[in-house]
Amino acid sequence: MANSYEYKTFNVKFQLKKKMDPKVDEGEIELHDRIKEHSSEGWRLISVIPITSGWGHTSHLLVTMERQG
């Protein structure tokens, strides 16, 4: 019998940092927090895809995680 997997995707808003801005982007913090939260529930990260809008600007990240079901 083959193993079955569940998949979960979510978006994380991404804001362009100003040049030389030392602050960490809030989206970066959210990304780390959500990955840690889901990892503790047995999910593992399989991809992070930047979604672009006009002029190639990254508007958000599409995150996909999986776990054996």
The pLDDT value recorded for residue 47 is: 97
Integer Cα distance of 67 and 69 in angstroms = 6
pTM of the model: 0.78
pLDDT along the chain (69 residues), means of 10: 88 71 72 94 96 85 94
